[in-house]
Structure 1
């Protein structure tokens, strides 16, 4: 199957890989983008938006990228750090006094940015629709006790990351996360990415196609475990992620909508050391904060080895074998979307798709594209 867009000759292997994945049916619709020094060298898309393969994936197709959204939320916080309005070592309650309730008074900003706060989900009962009311859902988090000793381990803040970080942003700026992101990042960088996607964009969104259901009985697990409480409080209903209500909500952990081009555009701010297009938005000192390791070991919510810095995962060969080592930060969305920022090579790689792969982190398809990118990088280094 042919792909659309462009690709410089050195990265031709990426085009070949995408064409092969589309032709095999492993992909339904997808986009891949690579920037070097902030300049686009790969911007490819292909396939279809719908399972019936009647609507082509086009240049401006959007898709829910799930947890890539967390990297956008983290960048919003880092902008405030850079402006001196937010201190990652300050207590969350300094900005959000109600958060100090029930033993959370010593939790620091770095703990919520790095998934070590002990508040990785909501206390039951809670339904998915309840978290669409961002302020009310955030207020519920403020009343809770931590589920483990803050700062001692990561427990992936799967659905509530944007509520925690976003409420701090709202307390500082008076703006909700979606508005702040649009005005301070997406707008200035001319990036077609949205946290809280208005109905005027819904016709461009490719519906997600869930992976085959795993025959796994969650009820057989310890219902008080951090894994069960995090992943079921509330339970993510994948068909609901195609609803208009989900798309409009501001869920900064999981419902950002964009495409590979817009993800790469915004995130190349990181791979380029905080400056893009001749404009510096983040200092090198602030970029360095991303790489301050907050945890390294089995994540209490996902039960896989993870290394977290501030707002991003750091290279972890066991969990993400295709993500290279070095001064690299990354994260993946449920179903396989991924972004990788490589500051050693000043490269950002982004991949988005609508046919979801099974598993919580990454996918064989994402790995294949990433390996094709680094085959080209290594060949260029030898030349």
Structure 2
């Protein structure tokens, strides 16, 4: 049995049970979960192995790459500038970034409505890590749809688009702004652009197992529900926008690569603890964002079938909103998850803030059952405290 370490407040034992069950069922290698309630930490647990190659156990300060969960931190940087009166969401992007050519409002960069989910060429990995080459391409890229008319997940470009606006307004890179204006003041162990001095704390990502070739060959796409068939067809077509989003950077970024983690990729390479994720969301709903700014993170801006992911989503300014298709996000909640299973959420009405990180990546299809189990336990525990 995996030893579960950490602390838990009375009444939240169900979260520990759910966390232990994920290990007992063989779903985890190393992981951590944290929960805050009305700004107070009530769950802080970790267990398992951080690096199988080294045999290094997961510890209290182990760091984990969280992929797109990072987008929430990037959005918060922009919202903080809005709160300070330094950024106008209804202004054209060109006001802050004169070289940008698309007819696009700032808010559409945050709501995945900019029409720029990719650049119309492959991007060498070295250019992606260098920032300026991709930003220059995005500045002159013709949108793939009229900005503001549709929404489609900007898997990687979200970070460069929002991050460049933050840089132009603040004079600091996105990672530096986040560190000095949010993570530092809030005491969050979370980084966008990890210093070499912190790399020794990293947990090693374990990619999902490849499907059995015979099973894959026998897989009947037509047997899937209609919306799933559409998604499979889109990602199977190398010419589709959905597939091109996944293959824009060549070779693909490896979040076990120290050079990738030390660069600033504000859509996808944040690194932190579950405690930092939960603490971040606890701060957002606990007064760090004023009520009118918090409303920007919790109010729907775009909804319906996503042009890239091909499934229904609801977007606010940089965050995913709850809907029947997202059991990991309770009604009234907002948050962001990442490839493989990591996630951070908040439910303002109940004061719940939650963070989960892990090194064994789950299936990319649908909500991660490990996270769903943990969030369900946390929500039910909060309900019993009322």
TM-score by length of 2: 0.91
CA–CA distance in 2 between the matches of 1:230 and 1:77? 23
2:295 to 264, 288, 301: 288
The residue number in structure 2 matching 1:260 is 274
Is the partner of 2:123 in helix, strand or coil? coil
Q: Which among 204, 209, 226 is matched to residue 206 of structure 2?
A: 209
* Runs of 4+, deviation exceeding 6 Å: 215-220
Matched, 1:321 2:321: no
Match of 1:207, SS state, is coil
| Distance in 2, Cα, partners of 1:116 & 1:70 | 15
Aligned equivalents of 1:224 and 1:54: distance in 2? 42
Structure 1 residue 308 corresponds to structure 2 residue 315: yes
The alpha-carbon deviation at position 7 of structure 1 amounts to 0.5
Per-residue CA deviation, residues 53-94 of structure 1 (Å, 9 max, x unaligned), is 821100000010111110000000011000000011111111
Q: CA RMSD in A?
A: 1.9
Deviation string 1:6-30 (CA, Å, 9 cap, x unpaired) is: 0112110111111121233211100
Other-structure match for 2:220: none
Query: After superposition, where does 1:95-134 map in structure 2 within 5 Å?
Result: 95-100=96-101, 104-105=102-103, 107-134=104-131
Deviations 1:283-335 (A, max 9, x none): 111111112322111111111110001110011221x1232112x11110100
CA contact (8 A) 2:327 2:367 kept: no
Q: Distance in 2 between matches of 1:140 and 1:256?
A: 23
Partner of 1:231: 246
Q: Residue 244 of structure 1 corresponds to which residue in structure 2?
A: 258
Q: How does 1:25-36 map onto structure 2 within 5 Å?
A: 25-36=26-37
What residue number does 2:374 align with? 369
Q: Does 1:378 align with 2:375?
A: no
CA contact 2:50–2:56 (8 Å) conserved in 1: yes
TM-score (norm 1): 0.92
Native 8 Å contact 1:197 1:247 kept in 2? yes
- Among 261, 284, 290, the residue aligned to 1:270: 284
For 2:337, the equivalent position in structure 1 comes to: 332
Q: 2:156 aligns with which of 151, 156, 159?
A: 159
- What is the aligned partner in structure 1 of residue 23 from structure 2? 22
What are structure 2's unaligned runs of at least 5 residues?
A: 217-231
Native 8 Å contact 1:191 1:265 kept in 2: yes
Cα shift at 1:360? 5.1
State the shift of 1:52 in Å. Answer: 5.2
**Structure 1 residues 31-40 or 285-294, which shifts more?**
285-294
Q: May I ask how many residue pairs the two structures share in their alignment? A: 367
CA 150–220 in structure 1, closer or farther in 2 if over 3 Å, else same? closer
8 Å Cα contact 1:122-1:234 kept in structure 2: no
Query: Residue deviations 1:96-131, cap 9 Å, x none?
Result: 01112xxx12x1111110111100122212233321
Q: Tell me the SS of whatever aligns to 1:98.
A: coil
Q: Displacement, 1:243?
A: 0.8
Contact 2:31 2:358 (8 Å CA) reproduced: yes
Q: Which residue of 2 aligns with 1:182?
A: 179
Q: What runs of 5+ residues in structure 1 fail to find an aligned partner?
A: 276-280
Kept in 1, the 8 Å contact 2:34–2:354? The answer is yes
Residues of 1 paired with 2:54 and 2:303: CA distance?
A: 42
What does residue 146 of structure 2 align with? 149
**Contact 1:71–1:331, Cα closer than 8 Å, also in 2:** yes
- Name which of structure 1's ranges 224-233 and 60-69 shifts more when overlaid on structure 2: 224-233
Q: Who is 1:278 aligned against?
A: none
Q: Distance in 2 between matches of 1:196 and 1:304?
A: 31
Which of the numbers 346, 354, 358 marks the counterpart of 1:353?
Answer: 358
For 1:99 and 1:88, the matched residues in 2 are separated by 16
Q: Distance in 1 between matches of 2:105 and 2:131?
A: 21
Take 2:354 and 2:341, find their aligned partners in 1: how far apart are those partners? 13
Q: Find the residue that maps to 1:245 and give its secondary structure.
A: helix
Which residue in the other structure is 1:10 paired with?
11
Q: In the TM superposition, what are the counterparts of 1:82-101 in structure 2 within 5 Å?
A: 82-100=83-101
